[in-house]
Structure 1
Amino acid sequence: MNLIKTLVIGNSGSGKSWLAEQLATSLGSAWVDLDLLHWEPGGYNMPRKQEDVIAMAREAAAAERWVIEGIYGWIVSEILSAATALVWIDVDESECIENIRQRGMRRGGDAQSLAELLKWAKSYQSRTGSSSYGAHEAIFNSFRGQKACLKTRDQVTAFADSSI
Structure 2
Amino acid sequence: MQRILIIGNSGSGKSWLAARLAEQLTIREVNLDTIVWQPGGFNQKRSQDEIDLAIKALAQEPSWVVEGVFGALAEQLLAAADLLLFLDLDWSVCRDSLLSRGSQSAIQRDAIAAEENFQQLLVWASEYELRASKSSRQFHRELFERYQSDKHHFTTRQEVNNYLTQLTTHS
TM range (shorter): over 0.9
Moved over 4 A (4+): none
Give the corresponding residue for 2:34: 36
SS of structure 2 residue aligned to 1:148? strand
Q: Distance in 2 between matches of 1:54 and 1:105?
A: 28
**What is the CA-CA distance between 1:31 and the residue it aligns to?**
0.3
Which one of the candidate residues 127, 133, 151 is aligned to 1:129? 133
Letter in 1 for 2:21: L
* CA contact 1:54–1:78 (8 Å) conserved in 2: no
| Identical residues among aligned pairs (%) | 35
**What is the CA-CA distance between 1:153 and the residue it aligns to?**
0.6
State the Cα deviation string for residues 10-30 of structure 1 (Å, max 9, x = none).
000000000001111111100
Which one of the candidate residues 148, 154, 158 is aligned to 2:152? 148
Q: Distance in 2 between matches of 1:51 and 1:128?
A: 24
Q: Distance in 2 between matches of 1:20 and 1:61?
A: 17
* CA contact 2:31–2:66 (8 Å) conserved in 1: yes
Q: Mapping of 1:1-164 within 5 angstroms?
A: 3-106=1-104, 108=108, 110-164=114-168
* CA contact 1:29–1:66 (8 Å) conserved in 2: yes
State the Cα deviation string for residues 12-66 of structure 1 (Å, max 9, x = none).
0000000001111111100000000000111011111122112112212211111
* Alignment TM-score, normalising by the size of structure 2: 0.91
Q: Distance in 1 between matches of 2:141 and 2:62?
A: 27
Where structure 1 has 5 or more consecutive residues not aligned to the other structure, the ranges are none
Where structure 2 has 5 or more consecutive residues not aligned to the other structure, the ranges are none
